[in-house]
Chain A
């Protein structure tokens, strides 16, 4: 499972660029801070490498292998 804490997300989109499997996309809904957070597009592509957990500067992504 991939969890995104939308309220911590600052919409830098590092996750979108650096996920090797292109799992993330931009949400269509604003968060409370007024930015479009990242969201999971297709988890089935995820290899659970967890690079997104380390590279999200705002501790917004948590990955748990099913």
Chain B
């Protein structure tokens, strides 16, 4: 009996490199499930990523993929989509990859509303490089570069995507696999920029540094601290402190960059 995801993965490379219980594996499953349910033409799917644990995801897919430079996956993805708008482009990234070094690429890809689906693994920390603080590390949480607790205000990547102009924005956690599958499907079908943040457990760094007993305790903490946007709407800022707001935040139709640029090219072609 074969697991449904293996159809999409390089079986010879499994088990994958991720630590035991890392949420990244759950996100791989949910992506495969979404692809299965959408019945995508796999020859027309391209995956891109930057650098980080999360950015190693495309390497496990038996699909065309580009593992690019830190923070720059969206620049490569933009090139792919503009060169061939027929392709479905999915970009895997981390909170550091998107929110820190790749912040500008992220803002402008949202602003252009280019038809790319971004799946951002938010584990609140730099996993690959050993647990440094990230732009999304919650206040007071410990990282190797914030040994007394983080004093900075964390960045809300979903609010940023919304303000910058993305067509679809949602946040789930690895404890919400069915909702995540639904959002990935919606994101892929959306003509425009889709940003899906997934709060994910990194026990090896975030969990151990923050004195969680084990991986399960961390995942339970993530689950129990999640509040759906429909409920959160009626709660005060004080009540929402330390909570993870999950749900769909944006679902709107707007003009899309790769289509607009080709319209412009056609309009100004000298030889038609």
Residues of A at under 8 Å CB distance from B?
A: 1, 3, 5, 7-8, 10-14, 17-18, 33, 35, 51, 53-62, 64
Residues of B at under 8 Å CB distance from A?
A: 1-6, 9, 14-16, 18-26, 28-30, 33, 174-175, 177-178, 181, 215-216, 219-220
A14 pairs with B29, CB closer than 8 A: no
The answer to whether A60 and B1 touch (CB under 8 A), given A10-B15, A14-B215, is no
B216 pairs with A57, CB closer than 8 A: no
A62 pairs with B3, CB closer than 8 A: yes
CA A65 to CA B23, docked complex, whole Å: 26
Which residues on the A side are within 8 Å of B28 (C-beta)?
57, 59
Question: Which of A8, A55, A58, A61 is the one whose CB lies under 8 Å from B177?
Answer: A55
Task: Write the nearest CB–CB distance from A11 to chain B, whole angstroms.
Answer: 6
B1 pairs with A53, CB closer than 8 A: no
CA A55 to CA B3, docked complex, whole Å: 12
CA A52 to CA B22, docked complex, whole Å: 15
Task: Write the nearest CB–CB distance from A40 to chain B, whole angstroms.
Answer: 13
Task: Write the nearest CB–CB distance from B35 to chain A, whole angstroms.
Answer: 13
Question: Which of B22, B29, B215 is the one whose CB lies under 8 Å from A59?
Answer: B29
The answer to whether A53 and B29 touch (CB under 8 A), given A58-B15, A62-B4, is yes
Which residues on the A side are within 8 Å of B19 (C-beta)?
10
Q: Which of B2, B15, B178, B219 has the most CB of A within 10 A?
A: B15
Which residues on the A side are within 8 Å of B23 (C-beta)?
57
Task: Write the nearest CB–CB distance from A65 to chain B, whole angstroms.
Answer: 12
